[in-house]
């Protein structure tokens, strides 16, 4: 009888632990989903849409005309704020992906092309941003590199198939 009670007690503790793990996983998933929804909402806010448009337009104005890299043109009329806003946003997304709070495949599949456009458009301003802020823009660079690696693998897979 004693062994049966001990077994039932151990089984109860084990099941309680499994239930607690299930609750924690569900809570973490809900937290990640909430963060993902917030990040998507921020991406669609009018201020961010305007900042993305401004940054993407910088890529069209900063042509090197085949003469190699040149100093980036001066930022005027809120362009610096737009570059800073976009870089801060994608650096934060990169941090959340790197820390496994957000799913990398989900982020890159939905934001990849935009990420690539704004990274390319703002690349010449990144050093200026690093001098004037404490934001870790390396996570933006890391996220862009992850997207490039995924695109390369996807294209290689489609070519081989």
Number of domains in the chain: 1
Is residue 24 assigned to a domain? Answer: yes
Is residue 85 assigned to a domain? Answer: yes
Is residue 71 assigned to a domain? Answer: no
Is residue 72 assigned to a domain? Answer: no
Mean pLDDT, the chain, as a whole number?
Answer: 78
Structure tokens at 47: 């201020």
Is residue 70 assigned to a domain? Answer: no
- Find the domain containing 135 and state its range: 2-59+77-160
Residue 66 has pLDDT above 70, yes or no: no
153 phi, psi to nearest 5 deg: -65, -40
- Which of the 8 DSSP states describes residue 133? -
CA distances from 54 to 78, 79, 85, 121, 160 (A): 9, 7, 11, 10, 38
Is residue 65 assigned to a domain? Answer: no
- Per-residue pLDDT of 43-57, as tens digits, reads 889 999 999 998 888
Is residue 138 assigned to a domain? Answer: yes
Residue 120 pLDDT level (bands cut at 50, 70, 90): confident
Is residue 68 assigned to a domain? Answer: no
pLDDT at 133: 63
pLDDT at 68: 46
């Amino acid at each position: 009888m004693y062994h049966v009670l001990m077994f039932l007690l151990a089984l109860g503790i084990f099941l309680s632990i499994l239930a607690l793990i299930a609750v924690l996983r569900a809570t973490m998933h809900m937290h990640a989903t909430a963060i993902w929804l917030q990040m998507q909402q921020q991406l669609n806010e009018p201020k961010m849409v305007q900042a993305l448009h401004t940054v993407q337009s910088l890529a069209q104005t900063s042509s090197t005309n085949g003469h190699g890299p040149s100093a980036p043109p001066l930022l005027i009329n809120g362009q610096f704020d737009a570059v800073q806003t976009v870089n801060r946003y994608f650096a934060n997304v990169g941090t959340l992906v790197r820390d496994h709070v957000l799913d990398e495949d989900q982020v890159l599949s939905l934001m990849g092309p935009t990420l690539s456009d704004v990274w390319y458009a703002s690349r010449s301003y990144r050093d200026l941003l690093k001098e004037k802020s404490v934001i870790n823009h390396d996570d933006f660079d890391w996220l862009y590199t992850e997207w490039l690696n995924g695109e390369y693998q996807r294209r290689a897979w489609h070519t081989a198939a």
